[in-house]
Amino acid sequence: MSGVLVAGAGAFGTALAVTLAAEGRAVRLWARNAAQVGRMIADRENRRSLPGVTLPEALTPVADLAPAPGQTVLIAVPAQKLRAFLERNGSRLSGQRLVSCCKGVELSTGLRPSEVIAAALPDAETAVLTGPSFAADIARGKPTALTLAARDAATGRRLQAELSTETVRLYRTTDLAGAELGGALKNVIAIACGIAIGADLGDSARAALMTRGYAEMVRLATALGAEPATLAGLSGLGDLALTCTSLQSRNFAFGHALGQGTAFDPAKTVEGKATARAVAGLAAARGIDMPITTMVSAVLEESVTIAEAMDALLARPLKEED
């Protein structure tokens, strides 16, 4: 094994690098900012993204993105910055085995991360790693189960063996669409749930938003080619449950701040903001009913207030549950 390269030194990328290197595997963690790399080398800690976690000796921070031939590269950059990252580094990543760890839908195109990679690097071998996880839990060795999606079953088995650790268990699927859409769409519902809790609408309202939000997720994902069973698994229902119930989730915390009318750190990436707008557009273009997503998008665009959004949801026609 030639080791693993993790491209992206945010919280999740750092956590993946830490858990892989903790078992003695050679891991390189790439950050675009050379100064950040220098600090990680000196401190043996990524204080910017994952403070309090010691970087194992087998983990090497690097500023040069140069994967070895045939090396697995985990791409852990924000979904809305993925295309620019690939354009800058395409020559180095061409023909490599790439694992997308991005959660989102590209705002400008409506494409999933694996589709963005396929368009930019058609000769790359692409897989997806996603599921219910907080970076701090992974880095500190807390038990975590994730979804690994690869169209080729043999590739999935190889990556499963390479990327599993004692505390991170990977479950395989060949359904890239389901895995990616589950991970992206739940962020939008998490914002809605955060708003509800922040606005003191109660846990019953959150339960309703999670349940009806899950129905929206399945409705759109299956229309885009996903398997319903995938959405019922870790990367759909599992991730939804985690993200909608904890302030560790940036999407939930962002919605919570909106509901309370308080400020949220603008430096923190909230993937659900752009995804809400992208998905609302996809749903409208396809005639798919997604009222919660539509209201979240409208709130973010400030075309309606939170009170108006809640009134609109409560005024929807009474019908059978679907």
Hey, is 3 helix, strand or coil?
A: coil
Hey, is 76 helix, strand or coil?
A: coil
Residue tagged active-site, from 81, 103, 142, 186: 186
Q: What share of the chain is helix, strand, coil (3-state, %, to 5)?
A: 50, 15, 35
Angle between helices 82-93 and 113-120 (to 10 degrees): 40
Hey, is 52 helix, strand or coil?
A: strand
Instruction: Give the CA distances from residue 174 to residues 73, 115, 240, in Å, rounded to whole numbers and listed in that order.
Output: 19, 15, 20
Beta strands in the chain (DSSP E): 4-7, 27-30, 45-46, 50-54, 59-62, 72-75, 97-100, 125-130, 144-149, 168-173
The DSSP output letter for 68 is P
Decide if 81 is catalytic.
Answer: no
∠ CA 206-312-196, rounded to 5°:
25
C-beta of residue 67 within 8 angstroms of C-beta of residue 45 = no
Q: Closest Cα to residue 113, out of 16, 182, 171, 14? A: 182
- Kindly state the tokens that stand for 140: 């500190």
Q: State the catalytic residues.
A: 186
